[in-house]
């Protein structure tokens, strides 16, 4: 359950950004989570809802932008999405010499506050 720790980091950071901007209530927080990052959005939402009570983010929603993994073929430069079972073969030239360029994101993007 590292989602609880991550939710706390999101909340702490959102609260301080909100207060710094002269606002005093957070309406939503938007984050970006790569599907290969090992963070489960459902667990993150659950944790966020549990810890926001009694803070200026009490009514805030956590909006998660999921980022699908993306690969680039080192042989022909084709960009493609790996299959669900993470099979990493270039659909263009069948090369397996590929690198994963997206899907590991874990960052906060913005927040709505009043």
Partner 1 sequence: MNIQVVSKILEANDRLADANARKLKAAGVYTINLMGAPGAGKTSVLEAVITKLKSERLRVGVIEGDITGSEDARRIDALNVPVVQINTGGACHLDANMISEVLDSMPLDSLDMLIIENVGNLVCPAEFKVGEDIKLMVLSVTEGDDKPLKYPLMFRESAALIFNKIDLLPYTNFNMDRAQKDAMTIHPEIKIFKTSCKTKDGVEELCAWLKGLR
Site string for Zn ion, 49-88 (x = CB under 5 A): ------------------------x-xx-x----------
Residue 88 CA to residue 94 CA, distance in Å, equals 9
Of 58, 63, 93, 107, the one binding partner 1 by CB under 8 A:
107
Partnered with residue 80 across adjacent β-strands are 71
Footprint (CB under 8 A) of partner 1, residues 15-54: 17-18, 21, 23, 31, 36-39
Q: Does 1 bind partner 1 (CB under 8 A)?
A: yes
Question: Which one, of 70, 56, 36, 50, lies nearest residue 4 by Cα?
Answer: 50
């Amino acid at each position: 359950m590292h989602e609880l720790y991550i939710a706390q980091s999101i909340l702490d950071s959102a609260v301080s950004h909100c207060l710094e901007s002269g606002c005093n209530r957070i309406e939503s927080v938007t984050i970006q989570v790569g599907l290969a990052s090992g963070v489960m959005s459902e667990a993150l939402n659950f944790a966020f809802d549990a810890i926001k009570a009694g803070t200026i983010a009490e009514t805030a929603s956590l909006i998660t932008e999921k980022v699908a993994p993306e690969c680039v073929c080192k042989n022909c430069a084709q960009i493609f999405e790996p299959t669900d079972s993470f099979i990493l073969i270039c659909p263009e030239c069948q090369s397996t010499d590929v690198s994963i360029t997206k899907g590991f994101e874990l960052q906060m993007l913005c927040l709505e506050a009043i």
